[in-house]
Each structure stands twice: as structure tokens, then as C-alpha cells.
Amino acid sequence: MANKREIKKYVNALGASICESMMSAYYNIKGVDKDAIEQAMGKVLGAIGAAKAHANLFFDKKEKDFADKKEYLAEKRAFFKALFAKIVNDYNEEIDAAMKQFNAAIPAEIKQQNKASVAEK
């Protein structure tokens, strides 16, 4: 990711899409474990909030702390690259855990119907 704005847009878009799918299953599929879906949605929303909060960090050093501007910019770039990589990695891990919980809440017969409909295409 290039900057804070893109990180936040990515987090919002992916999280909203996942929550929309979970809400659809929650209300439209009979026999789902609604408590598990609620917990999974809570994990997704928590991951969104954590990722957006962590993206608001700033580089805590000033240009005068370095020998020249080039060194400062290189250090700043490296800081944000590592920060954004960690944010995305942590976010994806939380989303994966929520999706596993969500998939476990769907009845086996519904999963089989979905697999059969995909195989037909």
C-alpha cells in the first residue's frame, strides 16, 4: 500500500464486503449459527477499527535528526513500508480467523449445495 488513505480505503472496502456477505447469510440461510456469525462480524469490525487506528501513526523523527534530506526520506519510507505491511498482515490474519468462524457457522448441506452449483458452471 502506498499511503494511509489507501490502507484505510482497502480496509473499509474489504470489511464492508465481508460484513455484507455475513449479514446476508445471517438473515437468509435457515439453520445457521447466528451467534457464531455475530462473533465473526464483531471480529471483522474490530479488525477494521484496529487497522484504521494503527494507520494513524506518524514518523516520530525530524529531518534535522539526519545527516541530509535523502537519508531522512529513505528512513521515513522504510518506516511506513514496514508499518503498512504489518497492518495489512495483522488485518488479513483477523479476517481469516473471522471467515473460518463464519464458514463453520454455515450448515453442511448449504455448503454442499454451493459446491454443486459451482461445479455445474
pLDDT tens digits for range 42-66? 999 999 999 999 999 999 999 888 9
The average pLDDT across 92-100 equals 97
What integer best gives the mean pLDDT of the chain? 93
| Domain range enclosing 51 | 4-112
- 6-22 pLDDT, tens digit per residue, is 999 999 999 999 999 99
Beta-carbon contacts of residue 30 (< 8 Å; ≥ 6 apart): none
Answer whether residue 30 is part of any domain: yes
Task: Report how far Cα 61 is from the mean position of its chain's Cα atoms.
Answer: 29
Please, are residues 56 and 4 in contact by the beta-carbon 8 Å criterion? yes
Beta-carbon contacts of residue 69 (< 8 Å; ≥ 6 apart): 63
Answer whether residue 58 is part of any domain: yes
Answer whether residue 88 is part of any domain: yes
pLDDT of res. 3:
86
The average pLDDT across 87-114 equals 94
Answer whether residue 121 is part of any domain: no
Read off the DSSP letter of residue 100.
H
The domain tally of the chain equals 1
pLDDT of res. 1:
54
Answer whether residue 33 is part of any domain: yes
